[in-house]
Structure 1
């Protein structure tokens, strides 16, 4: 498999309208999108579990000594740092140093998590990794090098810190709320439990074993290779003063890396989930990309898309000056990572990811129409009636008029007027279940024993 034969043409014809998941006729080359969104540099890598990798750089690093972006140019990995930190935490779980469901107070010695009344809640490592611990809602914007606080100051909200103290603010384990504060606590916990500075711990625990040679959590890393670092840019192409910001919250957003290194980690997790990794065992890898909230989109440090035939997992990232993503499609054994040195890189990255979805998602066979008709119940007796009219499936949810679903070649059905995907899935010889997906959240409706009533008025 020669990835360049796939991706050079794909990058020359990227879809500019990706929300529907369908290829539109409005396409543009990567270079055109870089110009439209004023993104100075882009790096992309594609790899397979077999070890094959293709990588390329486009544009320039930016700054006074700007050079061409190459496959070895390091970018801020932003929140993908969480994904990598979670892998390290699970290795410590595997070694018995940590336990997923033990109170984190058992490990923290330098600082303790409190609620607003000064009480110490029971929070677990699993909840930190899954963003379900209910900690302060925080996004870390970074600091100028001479203004950066320590991690303890970030946790306490003291010194030059620009974010509030990290506190327990929601009922632990009750719901998902994405926040960098969870990973600041994780960082301190890992340091306290091992007695090792976080950047050194991650170097020996994860980066070296996974062969991520162009990556580091050390905030001095970009200074050690100034000609191999992409400098960050605000929207519109304005450069970040000093080139980039320092992130003392390194587990949450301080990793420097390349797309090639990032996909190496995702491919290692995919191998681990198949039982083929020498680093992480199968059960922990499976936990990593299993949603921790029913119908949710996040596992343990991992964004999860669990649609049948379209499964992918990984992480996205946004820091001041940078955007990125790294995902693996486990059913095809392929990973794609891309990084930009601009806050306006999202639209461009969305087009690249959509191309990867179409290329590496595996299709499923559409269910016979006669096998899926009937009533399904979503929740609290919320009925959904599926019927066949003139050879087409009709969909009628509670109190709504029936509509004809649009059939997609990959086994999906799309609602013509709503952001709604429908699939019919079957396990062994069991009846089909109906899978609904809206705004990235998957819900399941099961067959009802009650017969559906006609949605049309009775003539009398």
Structure 2
């Protein structure tokens, strides 16, 4: 599908006073929007949303949250805002299921995708405090049901838990698509070996461990198997005992398929065309990598506890300060971004930790978590649509503007004066054959052209920014290639979709 991919999350500093050293208050008493009660802060996100690109010296094109949900074909969204280490309020909009029309509420659960990874890491670190797991030992000395296959660096650099959980162990397999209803579910060993019914390749080491950062859900899956081997307990039970129950994360769980309790108020996943994901919510054998169900408030509850433990050495904290510092210390092999701790991505400036974050993507679900260390300000956003990433970025921009949390900011473009005859040179029809077969039609418009590629894009305005490059307000870009005679032959969208001029 020709869906948009928004730019990666960026974070900035907000210089506010550090909160006191009281235990994080993450009780469920925060305010939640209903049709009858809307607090002023919530109106900032209900209105005033804009696409991520704006035109310099022109008013931004603002729309309501409801309009942006409809535009992106995302049925529902759930948002929680944390201020000073406490959940200040939540906002829910849209529906959890288009067929029933039932609205999203603060207890509606979504699949958290890769935000499962730092949650699993927190479970492992809590277990380690009483069982002494060595984060820097060769994992083959701890694994009993499987072994990391031999690789060229086996005798030089070990694959360790610290490296696995910071994506620097050299392991393969970026992510996992999960399994639709009715499909056979593999064991973890089958997933790691890449044998049926697993639908992904075997997890191997093909980069020298400790030499570079490369995202690997496969590495997280090795860590999950290790924890289950040494504890002789399934992750679902350990997470409930060590994490969810102590922190009051009552709307979270690693049970796959979803537990009956959470299923009573779960969001239905939708694809990028706004249709229900075939086979419903996918089942993930790789619980630690992608298998958690949760809510934005629960994601912030965990984040608040880790931040509290990082800042204070208090025996009443859920996690020790040493463990929290391990989690929020960069393991970047080069010392340069991206900075990854144990589970979380870290945002630093001048070698100072500013915040920690993680995004999530499962079939039909998109999520984002972010929390600042100094201020205790942050947010978590969860959606039940494959286009949720674009909506999340627009919300992050608005959160920055309205509340000075994060620094996801719009991109500003300048439009030069361009004669109509120059624009006319690019107009016409371009045939795309991959990843889908579709004709892209460019028709004239002031300062650019309108692009139609039905059924995916309908009459979308693209402005000329100079040198034969065009942009849309959603961040999409278009440029063109010419032959030796200077004739335009190819349209290139977002640097990945190519269309041949007809």
TM-score by length of 1: 0.73
**Matching residue of 1:17:** 52
| 2:176 is aligned with 1:176 | no
What is aligned with 1:206? 243
Structure 1 residues 283 and 238: alpha-carbon distance in aligned structure 2, compared to 1, 3 A threshold:
same
Residue of 283, 287, 294 corresponding to 2:326: 287
1:302 and 2:344 matched: yes
Match of 2:169 in 1: 133
Structure 2 gaps of 5+ residues are 1-29, 33-38, 408-502
Cα root mean square deviation, aligned: 2.8
CA contact (8 A) 1:53 1:260 kept: no
Provide the rounded CA distance (Å) in 2 between the counterparts of 1:350 and 1:24: 19
1:311–1:28 Cα change, 3 Å: farther
User: Take 1:320 and 1:292, find their aligned partners in 2: how far apart are those partners?
Assistant: 29
Equivalent in the alignment of 1:315: 358
Residue range with higher mean Cα deviation, 1-10 or 248-257:
1-10
The match for 2:13 is none
Q: Report SS of the residue matched to 1:100.
A: coil
Deviation digits for residues 16-62 of structure 1 (CA, Å, limit 9, x no counterpart): 22699x99833322111101100001011112455443122211112
1:255 Cα deviation from its structure 2 partner: 0.1
The residue that corresponds to 2:290 in the other structure is 253
Correspondence 1:83 to 2:118: yes
2:390 aligns to what? 347
* Whole-angstrom CA distance in 2 between matches of 1:35 and 1:179: 33
> Aligned with 1:272: secondary structure?
helix
Cα distance in 1 for residues equivalent to 2:289 and 2:140: 20
1:310 is displaced (CA, Å) by 9.1
Cα displacement (A) at 1:248: 0.3
Classify the secondary structure of the residue corresponding to 1:306.
strand
Please give the alpha-carbon distance, in whole angstroms, between the structure 2 residues aligned to 1:280 and 1:80. 19
Pair 1:29–1:311, CA change in 2 (3 A):
farther
- Quote the Cα distance in structure 1 between the aligned partners of 2:109 and 2:59: 33
Q: Secondary structure at the match of 2:399?
A: helix
Deviations 1:379-410 (A, max 9, x none): xxxxxxxxxxxxxxxxxxxxxxxxxxxxxxxx
Q: Secondary structure at the match of 1:134?
A: coil
Task: Give me the whole-angstrom Cα distance separating, in 1, the residues matched to 2:136 and 2:153.
Answer: 23
SS class of match (1:332): coil
SS of residue in 2 equivalent to 1:58: strand
Contact 2:399 2:406 in 1 (8 A): no
Q: How does 1:120-269 map to 2 (within 5 A)?
A: 122-146=158-182, 147-269=184-306
Number of matched pairs = 363
Q: State the 1:119 CA deviation.
A: 6.0
Aligned pairs for 1:85-124 within 5 A = 85-115=120-150, 122-124=158-160
1:308-331: per-residue Cα shift (whole Å, max 9, x none)? 699221210111111001111222
Equivalent runs, 1:383-394 vs 2, <5 Å: none
Distance 1:125 1:17 in 2: 38
Shift of 1:361: 4.4
Q: CA deviation at 1:66?
A: 4.1
Instruction: Give, in whole Å, the separation in 2 of the partners of 1:145 and 1:23.
Output: 49
Shift of 1:116: 5.3
Report if the CA contact (8 A) 1:331-1:361 is conserved: no
Distance 2:72 2:252 in 1: 27
Measured in 2, the distance between the counterparts of 1:50 and 1:114 equals: 43
Residue aligned with 1:311, SS: strand
Shift of 1:176: 0.2
* Conservation of the 8 A alpha-carbon contact between 1:109 and 1:192: yes
Q: Does 1:28 align with 2:63?
A: yes
* Distance (Å, rounded) in 2 between the aligned partners of 1:287 and 1:296: 17
Which residue does 2:368 correspond to in 1?
A: 325
1:34-45 maps to which residues of 2 (within 5 A)? 34-45=69-80
Change (3 A) 1:24 1:162: farther
In structure 2, the partner of 1:406 is none
Which residue is 2:107 aligned to?
72
The answer as to whether partners of 2:173 and 2:200 remain within 8 angstroms in 1 is: no
Does the 8 Å CA contact 2:357/2:369 hold for their aligned counterparts?
Answer: yes
Q: 1:209 to 1:324 in 2, by over 3 A?
A: same
Change (3 A) 1:299 1:355: farther
Decide whether the 8 Å contact of 2:80 with 2:379 is kept in 1: yes
Note the residue ranges of structure 1 that are not aligned, 5 or more in a row.
364-460
Report the 3-state secondary structure (helix = DSSP H, G, I; strand = E; otherwise coil) of the residue aligned with 2:134.
coil
Q: 2-side partners of 1:228 and 1:57: how far apart? A: 14
Tell me how far apart the structure 2 counterparts of residues 221 and 241 of structure 1 sit (CA, whole Å): 17
